[in-house]
Amino acid sequence: MGTHSLSRTKPIPVPTQEEDPTSHSRALLSCIFLTCIALSASFSATAHSVSRPLKKLEKPVVILISSDGFRFGYQFKTSLPNIHRLIANGTEAELGLIPVFPTLTFPNHYSIVTGMYPAYHGIVNNQFVDPKTGEVFNTSSHEPKWWLGESLWETVVNHGLKAATYFWPGSEYPDHQGHQVGPDDPRITKAVARIDSSIGRLIDGLEKRQVFEDVTIIMVGDHGMRHVPILAIRPPPGYSPSDVVAKMNEGLESGKKRTKQQECGEAHGYDNAVFSMRTIFIGHGPRFARGKKVPSFENVQIYNLVTSILKLEGAPNNGSSAFPESVLLPSQ
């Protein structure tokens, strides 16, 4: 796993893999792509010296859930009892998770599951042209030649274990609504409430099987969103240039409220140092302290975090092998 410090300006060389004596432990990894948000609240961290023992399962299980387009701050929009429960009894990045640049869906989702910067895993945009061959990569390109590095599910399978993925890396909520209507529209609130209900069904299913406290749930996002005036970028049919200029001037006038729902929307892809590009990180399970807040960190650290929980030897990546110790409780 990685040993070098992170760099926000450019990727770091892929480090040499370290030896992990527990690499033959059996585990199950389920990577499920759902849309989710979190409700932020202040809780004092409960003191735990070591991880909590498994009661029902024999080996650790991780469910990794990603939220497409969840900007840090959406968690304050409405009551989200199920996500609130995970935060209260788990560990949260207090000021959000930092995406990689560019802050786009495909580069970030692949960085999450490989621990590598886009320059190393190869997915540098949602769509791009190979400068040598002229071939085009898009969201329908599934050929292995594009996808470098080793994903979490490959790591698990390479250890002879089971892994499953669903709908990674794209989703409809709340990214779709954010692009269309902007962060203040009621439809965003409805979308995140629907997500909370989905998380509630997941929790109910785990509780019925009596494994909720044994299973590790990690909730993240791929990027945030930034408020932009849609008409200043792409005027719809029927609007004249003067209409566009008028809308741009209107947006510059302080204190003037919008009069139509879709005059503004959201976009992403900006510098990952911009705060509005941040998303969420929530960890709930035996290795996460209850009610703990941790500083923000880059999403390339998640790969090593998951392999540490599963007690597997991971592939070379840009994350730090020491990072999991700063977030996880010591293993028993």
Structure confidence by residue, pLDDT tens digits, 32-88: 444 332 222 233 334 457 999 999 999 999 999 998 888 887 777 789 999 999 999
In angstroms, how far is CA 314 from the centroid of its own chain? 19
In this model, does residue 154 exceed pLDDT 50? yes
- Categorise residue 269: left if φ over 0, alpha if ψ from -120 to 50, beta otherwise: left
Domains of the chain plus CATH, in order, are: 61-225+268-327 (3.40.720.10), 227-254+261-267 (no CATH)
Reported confidence tier of residue 16, pLDDT bands at 50, 70, 90: very low
Q: How many residues are given for the chain? A: 332
| Percent residues over pLDDT 70 in the chain | 71
In the numeric block, the tokens 């409220």 are attached to 257
Q: What is the pLDDT of residue 121?
A: 96
| Average pLDDT taken over every residue of the chain | 79
Structure confidence by residue, pLDDT tens digits, 83-138: 999 999 999 999 999 999 998 999 999 999 999 999 999 999 999 999 999 999 99
Q: What is the pLDDT of residue 10?
A: 42
Specify the range with the lowest mean pLDDT, choosing from 1-10, 153-162, 239-248, 271-280.
Answer: 1-10
The residue type at 267? A
Q: What is the pLDDT of residue 227?
A: 67
In the numeric block, the tokens 């990546």 are attached to 317
Reported confidence tier of residue 268, pLDDT bands at 50, 70, 90: low
Predicted model pTM: 0.74
Specify the range with the lowest mean pLDDT, choosing from 5-9, 48-52, 243-247.
Answer: 5-9
Q: What is the pLDDT of residue 25?
A: 35
310 near 156, Cβ under 8 Å? yes
In this model, does residue 14 exceed pLDDT 60? no
Q: Which two tokens stand for residue 35?
A: 């849309």
In this model, does residue 305 exceed pLDDT 90? yes
How far is the C-alpha of 252 from the C-alpha of 41, rounded, in Å? 34
